[in-house]
Amino acid sequence: MYTYLVKRLLMVIPTLFGAAVLVFFLMRLIPGDICELKLAGSGAFFDQRSLDICRAELGLDDSALLQFGQWVGGWFVGDLGTSMWTGKPIGEEIALRFQVSLQIAVMATLFSIVLSIPMGVLSAVYRNTWIDYVVRSLSIAGIAMPSFWLGILIILGILLTTQAWTGSPWMPPIHYVPIWVNPAENLAMLIWPALATGYRYSAVATRMTRSAMLDVLREDYVRTARSKGVMERVIVNRHALKNAMLPVITVIGIEFAFLMGGLVVTEQVFNLNGIGKLFVGAVGQSDYTMVQALVMLVAFIFVMTNLLVDLLYAWLDPRIRYS
């Protein structure tokens, strides 16, 4: 087990290096120059002198290989570099956003698990009944509806409803406050995006749970348990559910990693100062160093989440052994 773990951790290095090479050189193929954007983006005049100063300050005059070497070299001393747009340390910029994205990802995941597993199980146990039809309709709707669109509907719904009830419209806060500073304000802001993304997330997990449960419920050992007169509740909860969880956990793991870096539009809809919004902003601003750091962060989260999921497999299924 430990050998397996060490091997997997060592494989992280070439994976991340490959991602680093890709993102570094692909970013430089995208047309656009951060200095032109800074100087001309607001319609103001600028001169070649300002452009030259800006490029020299950002090191854009250096060769691409030198820039790459400096960037990768920085990792070994824990230096992620500075944002080309703001000039601030990237670690500082990301840390601020990371807590927002993490909280949303955790809340959405919890919401999804609470919703999807019971619904998926019910749908499988009562397949082809009205319960199954309702669950399948809800899950298909969840997959079909983009979470940002649902988010827009939620905000509009809240505004219209509160205006109709109280006479003055209310909307969720648009500025993040940490949960330990003001829990009510924090939840008033984050509950809605967590619901919007969690619903879509749960739809995928519900379908996966249903499908896995149906497979497991057809297994010989389940039939044997039934023939021995074991209660259906015990069969489902104790024997079937745990075994059906393998693919569900894979889906939950991938979705969690996706939420950590991919809530691009939903974060804008709710004005969440998260990683996704930072990502889009950095791409739009040609902030190479920031995009590079964020890609590496997301790649790292994906790699570690996959490793965790693989380790969970062994716990859930005693037949799986790592050596």
Site residues, other proteins (CB under 8 A) = 30-34, 36-51, 53-54, 56-57, 85-88, 92-93, 96-97, 152, 155-156, 158-159, 163, 168-171, 173-176, 268-271, 273, 277-278, 281, 284-286
Contacts of residue 262, defined as CB under 8 A and 6 or more positions apart, other chains included, come to: 276, 298
**Residue 303 and residue 193: Cα distance in Å, rounded?**
25
Shortest Cβ 191–other proteins spacing (Å): 16
d(CA 222, CA 154): 43
Rounded CA-CA distance 167/58 in Å is 52
Bridge partners of residue 82, in order along the sequence:
89
Nearer to other proteins, 10 or 29 (CB): 29
Residue 178 CB, shortest distance to other proteins, in Å, is: 11
Look up residue 135 and give its two tokens. Answer: 């669950």
Measured from the CB atom, the residue of 93 and 255 that comes closer to other proteins is 93
How many Cβ atoms from other residues are within 10 Å of residue 26's Cβ? 11
Q: What is the smallest separation between the CB atom of 309 and other proteins, expressed in angstroms? A: 31
Q: DSSP character for 89?
A: B
Query: CB-wise, 97 or 210, nearer to other proteins?
Result: 97
CB of 52 to other proteins, least distance (A): 9
Backbone Cα Rg of the chain: 24
Q: Cβ closer to other proteins: 171 or 311?
A: 171
The nearer residue to other proteins, 55 or 136, going by C-beta atoms, is 55
Residues 6+ apart with CB under 8 A from 62: 70
Angstrom distance (rounded) from CA 93 to CA 323: 40
CB of 143 to other proteins, least distance (A): 24
CB nearer to other proteins: pick between 63 and 168: 168
- Closest contact distance (angstroms) between CB of 179 and other proteins is 16
Alpha carbon distance 308, 314 (integer Å): 10
